[in-house]
Amino acid sequence: MERTILHVDMNNFYASVECLDNPALRGKPVAVCGDPAARHGIVLAKSYEAKAYGVTTGQPIWQAKQRCPDLLVVPPHYDRYLEVSAAARELYISYTDRVEPFGLDECWLDVTGSQQLFGPGPVIADDIRGRVRLELGLTVSVGVSFNKVFAKLGSDLKKPDATTVITQDNYRDLAWRQPVSDLLYVGPATTAKLARYGIKTIGDLARMNVHGLHSLFGKVGVMLWQFANGQDNSGVATYTALPLIKTVGNSTTAPRDLVTDEDVKITLYALCDSVAARLREQNAMCSTVQIGIRDTSLLWYERQSKLTYPAQNSTDIFNAAFDLFQENRPRNPVRSLSVRACGLSPAGPVQLSLLPDEQRSQRLTDLERTMDKIREKYGRNAVRRAVSLVDPALDLDAEAEHIIHPIGFLGTLN
Ligand SMILES: [Mg+2]
């Protein structure tokens, strides 16, 4: 039986949520940007009005303002995006339990078995669009197709607030005309490689000799060729709700007082490594990092900061934690430290991002997942950070001292 898959994509997600929360922004060119003072001062999302001026995602703020002098720049509010994202998913699961998130603003829905109840796929798609508009005040574009890859492609074809149906009969007309870069998993590097062989559209790719593609690009080449020809059999995962834990934290009293920055780094890295490993175990990402410091006068204080993008690798968490430490340095040597990851959200199966920083963050996560496996098999010390060798006595086995804070335990944190 042919499957019916929907891909629902919230239009200009971050910018739309900002406009929803602040009516003064509506109808104006708006860009959600990372901290203008930090190196992350780039456009994360923009409204259609800003886009019309040539403002693009990933652009530095100064450049965006050159294009559009009246541009309204607002900082991101990840907690709100997580909230709205969760509300949208709640709405989707009233149609099927097969809901697979892809990032915060996109989901696949397998509605094959839901059509008896709710009508054919395109009807469900229109229904969802109407409800999201009415109940959440946002617009979505929906692709309806017989597999995930074409459903995703469909949701990109008409925006905003539109339904596009890609069928066995029309995919050659609709999908094949599109640039090959629109195909899921075809990033800028692959696009450039394919272009060298004259493959510009999805149709160009579909019409290639599959053996030729195999010798040029290996297994990936075959996979992409199958996608282009509508042969994607991958299933839509069953929805797993938000992580059951709200924060993941870890603290330690150091074996000796921490005097130098190097001392603090060793301890923070050990804490961050274990916090990040636990995040990955829970398949969660955090949007806020909190540290706690107790110095030899036994004064205890906590400070927190927002990450520019949600992360689940220890380098991003460490960088935020060490920045916090430097900004809130105690007067005396440090006795104990804690690191907590807050503002948790479920991590999608694969995070594909166009932003260089997020791509780097994803690569770090992949690297650390490999480290997780090595440590699971050969023990924690099979892989160590070079900094820990400065004073191995400080390199605590944070793993053994996990402190997990369950939902509700910390009440109002985020
Ligand atoms: Mg979107």
Q: Is the pLDDT of residue 401 over 50?
A: no
Place of tokens 């617009």: 139
Q: Which residues on adjacent β-strands are paired with residue 234? A: none
Q: Which percentage of the chain shows pLDDT scores above 90?
A: 54
- CA 13 / ligand 1 centre spacing (Å): 5
136 and 51 part of one domain? yes
- pLDDT for position 82: 84
- CA 137 / ligand 1 centre spacing (Å): 15
Please give, one letter per residue, the 3-state secondary structure of 11-32.
CCHHHHHHHHHCHHHCCCCEEE
Q: Taking a C-beta distance cutoff of 8 angstroms, is the pair 235, 110 a contact?
A: yes
148 and 120 part of one domain? yes
Asked whether residue 98 is domain-assigned, the answer is yes
Asked whether residue 412 is domain-assigned, the answer is no
- CA 14 / ligand 1 centre spacing (Å): 9
- CA 20 / ligand 1 centre spacing (Å): 15
Q: Taking a C-beta distance cutoff of 8 angstroms, is the pair 401, 252 a contact?
A: yes
Q: Is the pLDDT of residue 179 over 80?
A: yes
- pLDDT for position 397: 59
Q: What is the mean pLDDT of the chain?
A: 86
- Predicted confidence band at 355 (pLDDT cuts at 50, 70, 90)? low
- CA 8 / ligand 1 centre spacing (Å): 8
- CA 10 / ligand 1 centre spacing (Å): 4
What range does the domain containing 370 cover? Answer: 245-406
Give 6-21 pLDDT, tens digit per residue: 999 999 999 999 999 9
Distance CA 100, CA 346 (A): 11
162 and 183 part of one domain? no
Distance CA 267, CA 351 (A): 29
Give 83-132 pLDDT, tens digit per residue: 899 899 999 999 999 999 887 899 999 999 999 999 999 999 999 999 99
Q: Is the pLDDT of residue 403 over 70?
A: no
Q: Taking a C-beta distance cutoff of 8 angstroms, is the pair 323, 40 a contact?
A: no
62-67, long-range: CB within 8 Å, 24+ apart, which pairs? 64/31, 64/33
279 and 321 part of one domain? yes
**Residue 293 CA: distances (Å) to CA of 119, 253, 304, 306:** 57, 10, 11, 18
17 and 162 part of one domain? yes
Half-sphere exposure of 293 (CA within 13 A, CB side): 21
Region 218-236: mean pLDDT is 92
Q: Is the pLDDT of residue 404 over 60?
A: no
Phi first, then psi: give them for residue 399, nearest 5 degrees. -50, -40
Position 62: which residue type?
A: W
Number of structural domains found in the chain: 3
Region 360-386: mean pLDDT is 79
Give 15-40 pLDDT, tens digit per residue: 999 999 999 999 999 999 876 665 45
**Residue 117 CA: distances (Å) to CA of 99, 110, 193:** 17, 14, 45
Q: Which percentage of the chain shows pLDDT scores above 70?
A: 90
Q: What is the CATH number of the domain that holds 292?
A: 3.30.1490.100
- pLDDT for position 113: 95
Asked whether residue 118 is domain-assigned, the answer is yes
Residue 307, classified by CB atoms within 10 Å of its CB into exposed (0-12), middle (13-18) or buried (19+), is buried
184 and 273 part of one domain? no
- CA 105 / ligand 1 centre spacing (Å): 5
Give 304-323 pLDDT, tens digit per residue: 999 988 899 999 999 999 99
Give 52-74 pLDDT, tens digit per residue: 999 998 888 889 999 999 999 99
Distance CA 414, CA 411 (A): 9
List active site positions: 106
Phi first, then psi: give them for residue 225, nearest 5 degrees. -65, -40
147 and 271 part of one domain? no
- pLDDT for position 25: 96
- CA 61 / ligand 1 centre spacing (Å): 21
- CA 395 / ligand 1 centre spacing (Å): 42
Distance CA 41, CA 60 (A): 6
Asked whether residue 290 is domain-assigned, the answer is yes
Asked whether residue 321 is domain-assigned, the answer is yes
Asked whether residue 137 is domain-assigned, the answer is yes
Asked whether residue 240 is domain-assigned, the answer is no
Place of tokens 């809901």: 99
Max avg pLDDT among 81-95, 251-265, 290-304: 81-95
- CA 19 / ligand 1 centre spacing (Å): 15
- Lowest mean pLDDT segment, chosen from 107-111, 155-159, 355-359: 355-359
249 and 363 part of one domain? yes
Position 171: which residue type?
A: Y
- CA 60 / ligand 1 centre spacing (Å): 20
Of 136, 117, 238, 163, the closest CA to residue 8 belongs to: 163
How many C-beta neighbours within 10 Å does residue 31 have?
A: 28
- CA 405 / ligand 1 centre spacing (Å): 32
Q: What is the dihedral of CA 143, 145, 149, 154, to 10 degrees?
A: -30
Q: What is the CATH number of the domain that holds 10?
A: 3.30.70.270
257 and 154 part of one domain? no
- Predicted confidence band at 248 (pLDDT cuts at 50, 70, 90)? confident
Q: Is the pLDDT of residue 270 over 90?
A: no
